[in-house]
Structure 1
Amino acid sequence: MIDKKKMPLAIGVAFVAFTTQFGGGFASGAQIYQYFMNYGIWAFLMPFIAQFLLALFFWYGLRYAYRHKTYDYRRFSDSFYGKYRVIFSNLYEIVYLMLICLAPAVAFATGGSTLNTLTGIPYWACTLIIGAFIFVIALYGTEIVRKCASTLSVIIIIGLLVVLIPNIVAQWGTITDSVGQMAQGALPVCSKESGSFGGALWTAIVYFLFQLASIGLMYQHTEPLTDEKQVTKSAVYMFLVNTITMMLAVVGMAAIAFNSGLKDASVPMLLLVQNGVGASFLTPVISILIILGAVSTGVNMIAGIVTRTVNAVERKKSTEEAKKGHMARSTAASLIFTLLAFGIAQFGLLPLVKVGYSYLGYATLIGVGIPFVVHAVYTKVKGTK
């Protein structure tokens, strides 16, 4: 496994931010298709804008956390929002709960869609299989998954690069033809968008916003930093690595932008592989990595909300009382949230990515985006930090 202790601190922070954004959902191609490719030629510009905004807001939040030693999201919120903390600290709690409820459902849908494409087993049965794995591991194997999560995410990205680079080279003619069509106003298969700059820009902002919801997971990683300049360096690394990774995916997806099979593809990346080079080898490789990433994400998020729920129930109990029924409460909570995620996943991967994450983005705009901008302007005028 990757030892983040051996990394330069700034790169380590950027690495964590990288793994919170790119996992099984990204590797499936669904996010790229819904938030960028749907808008035609603007797909080649908007990743730069989305990643710049994300790096900028992460930098602002992490710099505040470093300066004020607020290493968990509740302490950060209470300090950052000041006299308005009763409203905005609790609002971020809602955003955070939305995140850890939606992410497992997308993980179910990602794993289920991939398994369905590979085996032909009905989608609902595939999500049930993925859910069973997540439920069992969430109860008994969370520590192992947490230790492997970063390594697994990097393996997914390496696998994605192994898929994308040869296919970009082999299908360069198709890609340039697709780019030419999009430059003339054509939109990819099944796109219902207008292809306008304004629509593409707003969707890129929504993408940035729902990714910003995970900033609460990042504050803890500023604690080992020894210099504020490391926060700035980490933001620069974050922008460069995330943008390059996303642009590779956009260019690769251009190869299938006008492929008629895209209208029935719930996992666009599999369509790219199946129509490209090394399909017999790369299809199972990328499929396994997507499923592993989905399971890892689902386990981490469900384990997180289960812990929060069980701790809230046990808070008023004595230590002995809490120990006696702890496993039963954990099992019940895991089952409830697993079934909830399974139910939400039945809406399908693409609708969840498009609609579910959009609502999360709107909530984050109110709870994080606007307050950050107001705070930045206020502190600039007042000359405070």
Structure 2
Amino acid sequence: MIDKNKMPLAIGIAFVAFTTQFGGGFASGAQLYQYFINYGIWTLIMPIVAQLILTLFFWYGLSYAYRRKTYDYRSFSNSFYGKYRYILSNLYEIVYLMLICLAPAVAFATGGSTLNMLTGIPYFLCTLIIGVFIFGIALFGTNIVRKAASTLSVVIIIGLIVVLVPNIIVQWDTIMSSIGNLAGGIMPVGSTQTGSFVGALWRAVVYALFQLASIGLMYQHVKPLTDEKQLNLSMIYMFIVNSACMLLAVFGMLAVAYNPELSNTSVPMLLFVQNGVGTAILTPIISILIILGAVSTGVNMIAGIVNRVVGALEARDNNQEISTSKNRIRSTITSFLFTVMTFAIAQFGLLPLIAKGYSYLGYATLIAIGIPFILHALFFKEKKSAKL
């Protein structure tokens, strides 16, 4: 199992940033279609634009956290927003809760859609199966999943490379044909876009913004740094690796961009594999990896909100000693309620959640983080930054 503590610090931070962005949703290919490929030829550059925007925001926020020693998102917000903290700190709390609720729902939908395509079992039952696994593991196996989360993410990426590279090589002519169609203004199957640069750019910005919502999970990781140059280097690593992975996946997904079956699937990666080489071997491999990524994401997010709610309830007990059984009951009830809630949200389907749900999260993040970060960078010197 991968131990981030044994990595160089710059690589470790880049690795954590990588795992916050790439999971089952990315591995399914649905995000790439909804935010990039559906917007035409600009899909060849907009993933880089999105990663550049995201990296700049991450660098600015993490640099502030390092210099001011604010290693959790609440202390960061209170320091960064200054006299506006009563509004903006609480607004970020709302964004964080949106992320906590939406990410498990997408995990349900990703795992459910994958099972549905593989088995033909109704989507509702597939998400129910995923939900049972997530609920059970969130109660009894959270520590194991957390320890394995980084390893799982690396395994997902290795699996994607194993799937993508040979199929890209074999289907290169089809990919080049797709690029020619995009350049000629012929939009992919299911796209309702015009292929305009402005539309593609805005969608890339929205993608960067909803990914930015996870920055609150990153502040803790700058604490071990001894030099800000390490942070700068980690952001360079983050940009290069994330951009390369996205472009590789985009090229792979272009192989099925004009496949009529695309309109009937919510997991383009499976369609890509089923129409490529090594189908008998690669289909179960990528399916397992997508489901593992989905379950891992769902467990971590639900466990996070359970700890937050139970911790708040215990704080209201005025630090009285809480019995193990009472803590277990609270954790079980909270975990069950959030599992049911995110299961219900997942019934909207994978594509609507990614297209609409993440868009709304991006708009909220723009108000709570994006605009304040930009104003802070433009108008406040570092010595004044705590007095925003």
Task: Give TM-score, length-normalised by structure 1.
Answer: 0.98
Q: Which residue of the partner structure matches residue 82 of structure 1?
A: 82
| 1:317-356 deviation line (CA, Å, top 9, x unaligned) | 2533454421111111111100001100001001100000
> In structure 2, what is the Cα distance between the partners aligned to 1:74 and 1:380?
22
**Equivalent residue letter for 2:376:** H
Q: Which residue of the partner structure matches residue 237 of structure 1?
A: 237
> In structure 2, what is the Cα distance between the partners aligned to 1:2 and 1:327?
30
> In structure 1, what is the Cα distance between the partners aligned to 2:194 and 2:361?
23
Q: Which runs of 5+ in 1 are unaligned?
A: none
Q: Which residue of the partner structure matches residue 261 of structure 2?
A: 261
Q: Which residue of the partner structure matches residue 328 of structure 1?
A: 329
User: 1:91-170 maps to which residues of 2 (within 5 A)?
Assistant: 91-170=91-170
Tell me if the contact between 1:54 and 1:211 (Cα under 8 Å) persists in the aligned partners: yes
**Equivalent residue letter for 2:44:** F
Q: How many residues align?
A: 385
Partner-residue secondary structure (3-state), 1:16 = helix
Partner-residue secondary structure (3-state), 1:325 = helix
| 1:34-85 deviation line (CA, Å, top 9, x unaligned) | 0001011011010011000001100000100000110011010001001111
Tell me if the contact between 2:80 and 2:385 (Cα under 8 Å) persists in the aligned partners: no
Q: Which residue of the partner structure matches residue 174 of structure 1?
A: 174
**Equivalent residue letter for 1:166:** P
Q: Which residue of the partner structure matches residue 22 of structure 1?
A: 22
Q: Which residue of the partner structure matches residue 342 of structure 2?
A: 341
Q: Which residue of the partner structure matches residue 51 of structure 2?
A: 51
Query: How much does 1:193 deviate?
Result: 1.2
**Equivalent residue letter for 2:92:** Y
Tell me if the contact between 1:25 and 1:294 (Cα under 8 Å) persists in the aligned partners: yes
| 1:263-296 deviation line (CA, Å, top 9, x unaligned) | 0011000000000011110000000000000000
Range that drifts further, 315-324 or 348-357: 315-324
Partner-residue secondary structure (3-state), 2:321 = helix
In the alignment, is residue 295 of structure 1 matched against residue 269 of structure 2?
A: no
Q: Which residue of the partner structure matches residue 352 of structure 2?
A: 351
Q: Which runs of 5+ in 2 are unaligned?
A: none
The Cα RMSD (Å) is 1.2
User: 1:181-260 maps to which residues of 2 (within 5 A)?
Assistant: 181-260=181-260
**Equivalent residue letter for 1:270:** L
Give the 3 Å change call, closer, same or farther, for CA 357–384 of structure 1 in structure 2: closer
**Equivalent residue letter for 1:355:** K
**Equivalent residue letter for 1:220:** Q
Task: Give TM-score, length-normalised by structure 2.
Answer: 0.97
Tell me if the contact between 1:95 and 1:360 (Cα under 8 Å) persists in the aligned partners: yes
Q: Which residue of the partner structure matches residue 368 of structure 1?
A: 369
Query: How much does 1:359 deviate?
Result: 0.3
Partner-residue secondary structure (3-state), 1:189 = coil
> In structure 1, what is the Cα distance between the partners aligned to 2:370 and 2:364?
9
Tell me if the contact between 2:256 and 2:272 (Cα under 8 Å) persists in the aligned partners: yes
> In structure 1, what is the Cα distance between the partners aligned to 2:234 and 2:195?
34
Query: How much does 1:384 deviate?
Result: 6.3
> In structure 2, what is the Cα distance between the partners aligned to 1:143 and 1:359?
31
Q: Which residue of the partner structure matches residue 279 of structure 2?
A: 279
State the identity %: 71
Tell me if the contact between 1:314 and 1:322 (Cα under 8 Å) persists in the aligned partners: no
> In structure 1, what is the Cα distance between the partners aligned to 2:176 and 2:32?
18
> In structure 2, what is the Cα distance between the partners aligned to 1:327 and 1:7?
35
**Equivalent residue letter for 2:70:** T
> In structure 1, what is the Cα distance between the partners aligned to 2:189 and 2:377?
41
Partner-residue secondary structure (3-state), 1:320 = coil
Query: How much does 1:194 deviate?
Result: 1.6
Q: Which residue of the partner structure matches residue 39 of structure 1?
A: 39
Give the 3 Å change call, closer, same or farther, for CA 50–367 of structure 1 in structure 2: same
Q: Which residue of the partner structure matches residue 73 of structure 2?
A: 73
> In structure 1, what is the Cα distance between the partners aligned to 2:367 and 2:214?
15
> In structure 1, what is the Cα distance between the partners aligned to 2:145 and 2:152?
9
Tell me if the contact between 2:376 and 2:385 (Cα under 8 Å) persists in the aligned partners: no
**Equivalent residue letter for 2:43:** A
Tell me if the contact between 2:134 and 2:299 (Cα under 8 Å) persists in the aligned partners: yes
